[in-house]
Structure 1
Amino acid sequence: MQQRIIALLAGLLLAASVHAASWQEGSSYTAGTTVDYNGKTYTALVSHTAYVGAGWNPASTPTLWKEVGSSNTTPAPSASAVPSATPAITSTPQVSPAVTPTASPVVTANPGIANWDKSAAYVGGQRVSYNGQVYEAKWWTQGDVPGAAEWGPWKLVSSTTATPKPTATPVITASPSPTPMTCPALTPPPPIYDAKYVPIYDAAGCVIGWNIVSTLPTPYPTPSATPNVTSSPSPSTTPSVTPAPVNDKLLVGYLHASFANGSGYIRMNDVSDKWDFINLSFAEPTSSTSGEVAFKLCPSTECPNVESEADFIAAIKAKQAKGKKVQISIGGANGQVRLETTAAKDAFVRSVATIIDKYGLDGLDVDFEGHSLQLNAGDNDVANPKAPVIVNLIAALKELKAKYGSKFTLTMAPETFFVQLGYSFYGGTCSGCDTRAGAYLPVIYALRNDLTLLHVQDYNSGPITGLDGVYHTMGNADFHVAMTDMLLKGFKVAGTNFMFPALRPDQIAIGLPANANAGGGFTTVGDVQTALDCLMKGTNCGSYKPGATYPGLRGLMTWSVNWDKFNNFEFSTQHRAYFDKLPK
């Protein structure tokens, strides 16, 4: 019997020592992956990438992660004799040491890691200790409290743990009176328009930062057509592009033309006629800063059924003869394009034009992700950005538009991080936040009169604050309604006096994954059509009520044509049928 008990205890101790891997920012996770984060265990609900700087940790993104329990990091007890009395635990702020029969916990500092200093400047990769936890700087920072904001410059690396100091005989001591802890003074930020600050508290009850909460009323006021912006041109809320008919609904799909990506290669000639815009994915840069981009068909080693280049070009012409638009898409998740110099801008224009001319394409889709775009500190005028990567991209797109004229199509596929997040955090103005936040806004604004379609990716997204001042999470109808309403109503850019003007409904399509394999935040056909009902008809709205109805909303975009086929064409078949039933 004693041997069985010993074996059972050994098994329990072995199980306690096995933990899930710790969550890491910048890593990609597949659905079902289990991780530990801040003492808790989470399981990934969808496959996604935890973008650096986005703050999409398991605790803050319930649409990406589900809490399944507490992770056990308590040291296994020693097999020493059990004392006749229970040792008292000395009260120590910020630390919860494990109680063992033979050890008196002694808190030790993080070896070799200095405490955070408010006056010190830190560069990316440097580590500090703060309130018993170790943080690593994501980029240059000074004065930003570690852990104060989910979009901030610090990421949590580990927590300080109590280090047992063995003693021959446990000593029973009386519990001293707890030492009162003094919270560090933290000055509230200055007041901002249409918002209030709600304090964020740590485990000890100290204020470590503030959340920004909108105070906009509902229904929302119509944005002014002439925002009060110093030295900025008055934005026109009605771009001069000729509006499309109300019933001219589009399906936009990305075609894996240069790779297979596990969903299979589709020849251009076999692409369904349900797609109105076909974006060839992708032209990628020869280097991140050269500006030069190149496109080539998927190699036969990866795509055995790939057609010849001549057949590919002939199929493009056949699609165009049916009224379809075929574009080259540049960037994607792996294609970082930074136009840091005029020379890079010129190379970009030249190489894009070469691709368009060679394949006889209708235009260009800009799918810049990662670190392609970012703002300079103090870059607070959306109409007059200063960051070279943004200024040069705007100039390049205007040159291409001028070269090809009015028939040139221009679409953009930014993530919510680069657009709607600018309502809460703008990279040029917010202290300590990621300078990429809202970085697409100057580009969209500058090209608003030339923009054919904007289809923001309503997926692989963290929570985003809508015009109602509420966090909205992806994967449901309300999220799509709230994100789309922001583009169609316009919004004040955080930390500025600039009102980002509304785009026309026929310039907006909602970006979605074709199935759960294609991206995090997959939304069922039913929920997508509920969102369309709410936006276009004013019916079936959930908790979020848009400020108006938009019957001219242009359509839907998906990643991708290939994943749609992989999913038995559910996206294209069901949504094409929905659009075809709308009044003509």
Structure 2
Amino acid sequence: GPGGTPAQPPAVPTGLRAGTVTSSSVALSWSPVTGATGYSVYRGGTKALDVSGTSATVTGLSPSTAYSFQVAATNAAGTSALSSAVSATTSASGGGGNGGGLPAHALVGYLHSSFANGSGYTRMADVPASWDVINLAFGEPTSVTSGDIRFSLCPVAECPNVESAAEFKAAIKAKQAAGKKVLISIGGANGQVQLATTAARDTFVSSVSRIIDEYGLNGLDIDFEGHSLSLNTGDTDFRNPTTPVIVNLISAIKTLKAKYGPDFVLTMAPETFFVQLGYQFYGSGPWGGQDPRAGAYLPVIHALRNDLTLLHVQDYNSGPIMGLDNQYHSMGGADFHIAMTDMLLTGFPVAGDTTKVFPALRPDQVAIGLPASTQAGNGHTSPAEVNKALNCLTKKTDCGSYQTHGTWPALRGLMTWSINWDRFNQWEFSRNFDAYFG
């Protein structure tokens, strides 16, 4: 009014970012603007809604669709210009998109069902309710190249307390009735699987289907290690793989996904060597001497990213790996999990080629893989360090020296090898997960 400063429209909002994405909604948040009394959210240049606070969820969207959002600040004097745009792609409807019906934060564990080791045998009915995804370890091939996958319960001679097949199937049904997912995990340290021919590919599809159908499972975990996947010379673009073992694996999984439909849960547990090492090296490369397995999971993850429920890279049994800060990171503490996970959620040029960027995965598609105890694998991480990594990735606190490229409250959770080793260790891993996510 007279004698006072003329009222002015507020400044342009900054810090607009997308949070949780579903098949029909995108959550947005932004930094507060001094003097603003409200905010208008725009979708594709058209006003979608007005809110009083600094967050909003835009609903009524279509699945698997890219949208662009902006926000303006308002007060009695008018409206600011529109902010910089942020884009977000809604998830697919069904398994790949909604996390296959998983809770917002999920705990994934492997159950040694087909063999015994020092951790002891754990019956399916004795797996605590903390576990949201139970991976049956393992389905293994009759030979490296047959594609013929078999699964059977641990023999009584090895596992005196093993349940009967009927009890096992009944316990799986009970888990599923409680909202849990039970998958067959294929591979493991001893299960080399090379689908070098279309015949092996087709045998893989039929044999895996038989296991899924016999036990009434929710889907499939690909835990290929060792020499299952490697890139042939000249296969240099992860977006267009030419190596038969990779092309046939992608084709087989797409066939299984199509057969079982949108609720089919698909997870993968590659080692860092096959994923994050791809930032430096892809296949044997032009420099000679590099391992043809370097980065070899990247074409599989990329081709199946719209079908993928969860990627949980094994952040253990790993050598030092270069992060996006171009520093080497070593396993065992929060820093390794922060750097390795940031790479998946940010994306990275493959073998340093900025024309070949592996795109970021959605945070709800990513979990961190860890050993449950010191006996379970090299790179055991204490609960305090696990929590630091979670704090950094979901809240941007406790980050240490590594600067993440975002904050991802929708990070899906943790995977561990294994439920058996966690039981051996008085459930330290799962208790910590439950305490953290409450």
- The TM-score range, normalised by the shorter chain, is 0.7 to 0.9
Matched residue, 1:21:
none
Give distance in 2, aligned partners of 1:323 and 1:529: 26
Matched residue, 2:336:
479
- SS of the residue corresponding to residue 365 of structure 1 reads strand
- SS of the residue corresponding to residue 328 of structure 1 reads strand
Q: CA deviation at 1:495?
A: 5.5
Q: CA deviation at 1:381?
A: 1.4
Q: Find out whether 1:563 has 2:421 as its counterpart.
A: yes
Q: Pick one of 130, 137, 150 that aligns with 1:274.
A: 130
Q: Find out whether 1:505 has 2:360 as its counterpart.
A: no
- SS of the residue corresponding to residue 273 of structure 2 reads helix
Q: How does 1:27-176 map to 2 (within 5 A)?
A: none
TM, length-normalised to structure 2: 0.77
Give distance in 2, aligned partners of 1:311 and 1:465: 46
Give distance in 1, aligned partners of 2:293 and 2:377: 21
Q: Does the Cα contact within 8 Å between 2:91 and 2:98 map onto a contact in 1?
A: no
- SS of the residue corresponding to residue 234 of structure 2 reads coil
Give distance in 2, aligned partners of 1:372 and 1:246: 29
Q: Which amino acid aligns with 1:546?
A: T
Give distance in 1, aligned partners of 2:178 and 2:424: 25
Matched residue, 1:402:
258
Q: Pick one of 338, 345, 370 that aligns with 1:488.
A: 345
Q: How does 1:245-260 map to 2 (within 5 A)?
A: 248-260=104-116
Matched residue, 1:424:
280
**Which stretch shows the higher mean deviation, 242-251 or 334-343?**
242-251
Q: Does the Cα contact within 8 Å between 2:111 and 2:135 map onto a contact in 1?
A: yes
Q: Does the Cα contact within 8 Å between 1:340 and 1:388 map onto a contact in 2?
A: yes
Q: Which amino acid aligns with 1:343?
A: A
Matched residue, 1:85:
none
Give distance in 1, aligned partners of 2:291 and 2:231: 9
Give distance in 1, aligned partners of 2:351 and 2:157: 49
Q: CA deviation at 1:429?
A: 2.7
Q: Does the Cα contact within 8 Å between 2:394 and 2:408 map onto a contact in 1?
A: yes
Q: Which amino acid aligns with 1:304?
A: P
Q: Does the Cα contact within 8 Å between 2:372 and 2:417 map onto a contact in 1?
A: yes
Give distance in 2, aligned partners of 1:511 and 1:491: 20
Q: CA deviation at 1:469?
A: 0.5
Q: Find out whether 1:521 has 2:376 as its counterpart.
A: no
Q: Does the Cα contact within 8 Å between 1:516 and 1:522 map onto a contact in 2?
A: yes
Deviant stretches of 4+, over 6 Å: none
Give distance in 2, aligned partners of 1:238 and 1:337: 34
Q: Does the Cα contact within 8 Å between 1:379 and 1:428 map onto a contact in 2?
A: no
TM, length-normalised to structure 1: 0.58
Give distance in 2, aligned partners of 1:291 and 1:428: 25
Q: How does 1:440-479 map to 2 (within 5 A)?
A: 440-479=297-336
Q: Find out whether 1:332 has 2:222 as its counterpart.
A: no
Matched residue, 1:316:
172
Q: Does the Cα contact within 8 Å between 2:422 and 2:429 map onto a contact in 1?
A: yes
Q: Which amino acid aligns with 2:107?
A: L
Q: Does the Cα contact within 8 Å between 1:531 and 1:541 map onto a contact in 2?
A: yes
Give distance in 2, aligned partners of 1:424 and 1:576: 36
Give deviations 1:175-226, integer Å, cap 9, x for gaps. Answer: xxxxxxxxxxxxxxxxxxxxxxxxxxxxxxxxxxxxxxxxxxxxxxxxxx9x
Unpaired segments of 5 or more residues in structure 1? Answer: 1-224, 226-235
Change (3 A) 1:246 1:277: closer
Give distance in 1, aligned partners of 2:306 and 2:102: 19
Give distance in 2, aligned partners of 1:285 and 1:458: 25
Unpaired segments of 5 or more residues in structure 2? Answer: 1-65, 67-87
Matched residue, 1:66:
none
Give distance in 2, aligned partners of 1:246 and 1:529: 21
Aligned-residue CA RMSD (Å): 1.6
Q: Does the Cα contact within 8 Å between 2:225 and 2:271 map onto a contact in 1?
A: yes
Q: Which amino acid aligns with 1:455?
A: H
Q: Does the Cα contact within 8 Å between 2:140 and 2:187 map onto a contact in 1?
A: yes
Give deviations 1:438-478, integer Å, cap 9, x for gaps. Answer: 00000000000000000000000000000000000000101
Matched residue, 1:393:
249
Q: CA deviation at 1:242?
A: 2.9
Change (3 A) 1:367 1:247: closer
What count of residue pairs does the alignment treat as equivalent? 346
Matched residue, 1:538:
396
Matched residue, 1:242:
97
Give deviations 1:119-169, integer Å, cap 9, x for gaps. Answer: xxxxxxxxxxxxxxxxxxxxxxxxxxxxxxxxxxxxxxxxxxxxxxxxxxx
Give distance in 2, aligned partners of 1:238 and 1:390: 28
Matched residue, 2:28:
none
Change (3 A) 1:237 1:376: farther
- SS of the residue corresponding to residue 311 of structure 1 reads helix
- SS of the residue corresponding to residue 395 of structure 1 reads helix
Q: Does the Cα contact within 8 Å between 2:102 and 2:132 map onto a contact in 1?
A: no
- SS of the residue corresponding to residue 108 of structure 2 reads strand
- SS of the residue corresponding to residue 357 of structure 1 reads helix
**Percentage of pairs with the same residue:** 69
Q: Which amino acid aligns with 1:560?
A: S
Give distance in 2, aligned partners of 1:254 and 1:271: 11
Q: Find out whether 1:353 has 2:209 as its counterpart.
A: yes
Q: Which amino acid aligns with 1:515?
A: S
Higher-Rg structure is 1
- SS of the residue corresponding to residue 339 of structure 1 reads coil
Q: Does the Cα contact within 8 Å between 1:476 and 1:527 map onto a contact in 2?
A: yes
Q: Find out whether 1:575 has 2:430 as its counterpart.
A: no
Q: CA deviation at 1:540?
A: 1.1
Give distance in 2, aligned partners of 1:375 and 1:534: 34
Q: Does the Cα contact within 8 Å between 1:246 and 1:551 map onto a contact in 2?
A: no
Q: Does the Cα contact within 8 Å between 1:380 and 1:495 map onto a contact in 2?
A: no
Q: Does the Cα contact within 8 Å between 2:269 and 2:313 map onto a contact in 1?
A: yes
Q: Does the Cα contact within 8 Å between 1:365 and 1:412 map onto a contact in 2?
A: yes
Q: CA deviation at 1:239?
A: 5.5
Q: Which amino acid aligns with 1:393?
A: L
Matched residue, 2:221:
365
Matched residue, 2:36:
none
Give deviations 1:373-407, integer Å, cap 9, x for gaps. Answer: 00011211111101100000000000000000001
Matched residue, 2:234:
378
